[in-house]
Structure 1
Amino acid sequence: MMVDTIAINRDLNRFDGHGEIWLFGYGSLIWKCDFSFLERRPAHIRNWSRRFWQGSHDHRGTPEAPGRVATLIADPGARCGGMAYLITPEVFDHLDHREKNGYLRESVDIEFEDGAAHGLVYIANPANAAYLGEASAQDIARHILSAQGPSGLNLDYFRHLADALRVMGEKDPHIEAIERELRLIQSA
């Protein structure tokens, strides 16, 4: 089910009055940067793990057959690597539209190699109607192979993310498990 969170995000008013804000990307924001930014840096956040548990009814799937895309789950002690962008508030119109299917802006501490900053991240929590939830790596791989939407194949989304994480030197056991299952399914 498509869930439009644009109005909710606009009403959150987080970081109002700030001229610059750090935004943490852990999914397509790592490899598909279609917005202006002042600075871009590898970063990570703590106590969150990336999971392919969110439905995509508008980009990598359809309302009838949603794709699976990344979200974050609370995971004490975990570390999630990604890319941070220093942006201006004007960019939120575009980002809120791009991340409208269940994602809400949340405050987060972002860590860099040489320091830290407080910023924002878009998270699709389990309470949103587009949330698909936990599944085995094999089931997620099968789902990814079968889905496509207006933005293309779900498999392309997954591969772009996995490749970007490799280039960054980021290990993600969830992504690696899905990759193994994809190879097994495609070689059968």
Structure 2
Amino acid sequence: MRRMSLTPELVALCHREETDPGPSWEWTQLSDDDFSMLASRLGNEADEGPLWVFAYGSLIWKPAFESVEQRRAAAHGWHRSFCLDIERWRGSREQPGLMMALERGGRCDGVIYRLPDGEKPAQIERLLRREIDDHEAVSSVRWVPVRTAQGPLRALGFWVGVTGKGTSLRQPLARVAQILARACGHVGSGAEYLYNTVSHLETFGIHDRNLWRLQDLVADEIRSIHGHMIVGSEPAAMDVAAIT
């Protein structure tokens, strides 16, 4: 088993208690009617058959929905990128963080989940309420063509092709590592998010080379910040269950 440099012990050093600042006035919040209309539109655009959701980050390790089947899948023309600027959730106004989205180019290997049979607009609305909360994010929700061992299909993807305000595209991994090693919000730290994503991808047999390099860099950053608090320097074996 590959050994991650970013360990639960290092991740724990990044945690601190933060208060939820609430939604920012910079973003236009979605109303109940907005969610309903968007869910209806996406439902009308869906293919016949079951509803599939494409997971490439936190949806893999914290889906927050019931599924009846999962498969490995690849989305061509997209790659994982820590490019969403955040001052909430896993960042703060004093120490902004970064969250993951899909940026154009390359290939993203992930997991698709099949939801139970049901009314698609209602299922989609529940997903929307988990993933987005403002009008500016609506364009990042789209149907993504994916390839599986059983053939091609379309799955619902979130934070796909983000642009404009609130994004920092094509950042060097070293810069991303500096941010993730320091940022923390009321739901946890950037280092915790990265650890969970990399470790759970590995359990599916998915090795993302960029994220693997990033976890090395984040581990080094944490050691440089908290070196006096770290006993020993050998990385521990990857423990997927250690952080949830």
Where 1:175 maps in the other structure, the secondary structure is helix
Structure 1 stretch displaced more, 147-156 or 36-45? 36-45
Distance 1:73 1:123 in 2: 9
Query: SS of the counterpart of 1:163?
Result: helix
The aligned residue for residue 11 of structure 1 is 38
Corresponding residue to 1:145 among 170, 181, 187 = 181
Which of 1, 10, 26 pairs up with 2:56?
26
Q: Which runs of 4+ in 1 moved over 6 A?
A: none
Structure 1's 57 and 95: CA in aligned 2 closer, same or farther, altered over 3 A? Answer: farther
Specify the code of the residue in structure 2 equivalent to 1:29.
L
C-alpha distance in 1, partners of 2:50/2:37? 16
Gaps of 5+ in 2: 1-23, 225-244
Normalised to the residue count of structure 2, the TM-score between the two structures is: 0.67
Aligned pair in 2 of structure 1 residues 142, 106: CA closer, same or farther (>3 Å)? Answer: same
Instruction: Structure 1: state its 5+ residue gaps.
Output: none
Q: CA deviation at 1:185?
A: 2.0
Structure 1 distance, partners of 2:166, 2:215, is 23
Aligned to 1:84: 112
Q: CA deviation at 1:64?
A: 5.2
Partners of 1:68 and 1:9 in 2: CA distance: 29
- CA pair 10-132 structure 1, distance change in 2 beyond 3 A: farther
Give the distance between the partners of 1:161 and 1:26, measured in 2 at CA.
Answer: 8
Please tell me whether Structure 1 or Structure 2 has the larger radius of gyration of its CA atoms. 2
Give the structure with the higher percent strand.
1
1:131 aligns with 2:167: yes
Letter in 2 for 1:117: L
**Equivalences, count:** 186
Pick closer, same or farther for the CA change 1:97–1:182 going to 2, 3 Å: same
For 2:93 and 2:161, how far apart are their aligned partners in 1?
Answer: 19
Residue identity (%) = 22
Could you say if the C-alpha distance between residues 57 and 179 of structure 1 is closer, same or farther in structure 2, counting changes exceeding 3 Å? same
Match for residue 40 of structure 1? 70
